[in-house]
Chains A and B, each alone.
Chain A
Amino acid sequence: MKRTVPLIIAIIAGFVLLIANFIPFAEGWGLTAQEWFNILAVGAMILGGGNLIKLHLKKVSSQRKGWGYSAVTIVCFFGTLLIGMLKWGVHPNPLYANYSWSGYYLESGSGLWWIYQHMVVPLTAMMFAMLAFYVATAAFRAFRAKNIEATLLLITAGIVLLGRTYAGVWLFGWLDWLPEGITHFNLAGIPWLPIDFYSLQFDRLTIWIMEVPNTAGTRAITIGIALGVVATSLRILLGVDRSYLGQD
């Protein structure tokens, strides 16, 4: 019951999708399963929020070090939730003016909008913007050309860093001063072997790096990941992998 029923549910759910993909008759089953999945995803959000509160409430009640910050988290969470759920400051939808709850919960000027605009946006955006600083220290401290592979990585990074800015064009501005016969010619006079020194401009070289070596390496990784995902999914659908069922 504790492990068998969930196992059967996982197998049936997965196979319903596979069958729905290949048999038009079963397409409706797949659509229903997808709709339930989307609704259940909201349940996962509620679970995530609940888990967060449970963790922080424990910290506050046991008065562990830093419990004050947990209290801030709880207050912010419930404050945002209440303001959003109650649609504080939200006016009715102009199409249905007599329905006071019909308005858009994120209407400009409403309580939730204020929280989003002045708390969520600056805090999350600045959190991620901090990575720019850490990437600079990482470049200074950790990026060492110790071997051929590391050197290749650093040279490529340097070309891409310059190539994706105006510097990629500007650094090769001196090519414009050279006569065309030097910048464009056929190697050893062979008509199908043209040499164009402008191709070495970092911006063009970057494009070539992205389209050829990067595409090749990423394609290999993509195919490898796809094989791994197929193997893992098959193991789940055939009931071989039961790690998601947890321990009894």
Chain B
Amino acid sequence: MDKSLETPKKSNNTIWAIIFIIGAIMLIWSMTTSRTGQVWVTAESHSFSENPDGVYTPTQAGSGEIEWTTYNVVPENELTQVAINNGEATLSWSRTIGLWLAAIFTLFILSFLVGDNPAYKFAEAMVVGTSAGYVMVIGLWDVFVPNLLGKLLPGVVQGWALPGMSAEYISFWWVYFIPAILIVMLLFQLMPKGGWISRWPIAFFIGITAGYRMIGYVEADLVAQIKAGIVPLWISGEGGFEFWPSFNACLLTIATLSAMVYFFFSVEHKGLVGRIAKVGIWFLMITFGASFGYTVMGRIALLAARLEFLFGEWLHFIPSS
């Protein structure tokens, strides 16, 4: 095994010590010069009272039958000591703790660069659990309740969670029992026995997807792309023949055809076919090089955003966006 790829275990302790010392210096510096990791909010009251039509409308704060308070974050650059002193802005403990946890979790993930460690594994376990739970909640409230329960039990859903929805049954509402039954059948996949029952909804998925993909790919990726590839090779403008646009059109056509020849594996790539395929590979390599350049750009932007969060929102070394 290439030794240079092994993480030298001896130097780990030294590296961790250096990281902690630098981190402590940065944190102390930040806390002595700014309100590190603090989130200040202003409160906004909401009051509602029932009008003669039975509808609850907004009313003056403090005089409503239904009341609650929401909080708006005060940006760091707008927060003044005056606002803090006179109680306009208050420290939000939940958001402050949340911000510190977000920073700590970010550092946990970053710690993987030094070597695999329990903090990273803990963060990894959390991201899997919370993401999965979050996606299920979204599916429940955005799709399951309005699009299924809302069809099968409109009155119940209207009185409970979606008062704007009609409480009337739509025509042929009973066909929505079919997707409901299919969902139950799909969950049989989790059972030790009877997993074959889930094949029905899976087959439905596969059939629909195959149908979609055929339509979409034939129209947009096959016919439209062939049409787009057939371009005039002799381009003239107001001043007569235009060399570079014509050159580009010819190169585009040659490159497309030669790359397609490369992908044609039913004929052996020898002789003329082999030479054309070789040219096709060269153009494909240019394509992959361009893809690599763009990919690098994308990854670095993601890292820059995370560092902006740490240096801006948490440590206040730079203005937070």
Contact = CB atoms under 8 A, between A and B. Distances in A.
Interface of A: 2-3, 5-7, 9-18, 21, 32-52, 54, 66, 69-70, 72-81, 84-85, 91-99, 101-102, 105, 108-109, 112, 114-133, 135, 139, 141, 148-150, 152-161, 163-164, 191-194, 206, 208-227, 229-230, 232-234, 236-237, 244-246, 248
* Chief secondary structure at chain B's binding surface: helix
A17 B183 contact: no
B215 A219 contact: no
A80 to B, nearest CB: 3
Interface of B: 5, 46, 48, 50, 56, 58, 66, 68, 70-71, 94-95, 98-99, 101-103, 105-106, 109-110, 112-113, 121-141, 143-144, 147-148, 159-164, 175-176, 178-180, 182-183, 186-187, 189-190, 196, 199-208, 210-215, 217-218, 221-222, 225-226, 228-229, 239-244, 248, 251-253, 255-256, 259-260, 262-263, 280-297, 299-300, 302-303, 305-306, 309
Contacts of A46: 136, 139, 183, 186-187
Given A43-B201, A216-B283, 7 more contacts: A9-B200, A96-B164, A118-B101, A122-B103, A125-B305, A215-B252, A225-B217
B214 A18 contact: yes
A219 B225 contact: yes
A71 to B, nearest CB: 8
B191 to A, nearest CB: 10
B229 A72 contact: no
Given A43-B183, A52-B128, A236 B207 contact: yes
A105 B137 contact: yes
Given A6-B200, A47-B186, A154-B289, A130 B113 contact: yes
A213 B130 contact: no
Contacts of B140: 42, 84-85
B203 A10 contact: yes
B160 A101 contact: yes
Nearest to A245: B199
A79 B290 contact: no
Contact of B190 (A3, A47, A81, A128): A47
A161 to B, nearest CB: 5
A132 to B, nearest CB: 4
B210 A237 contact: yes
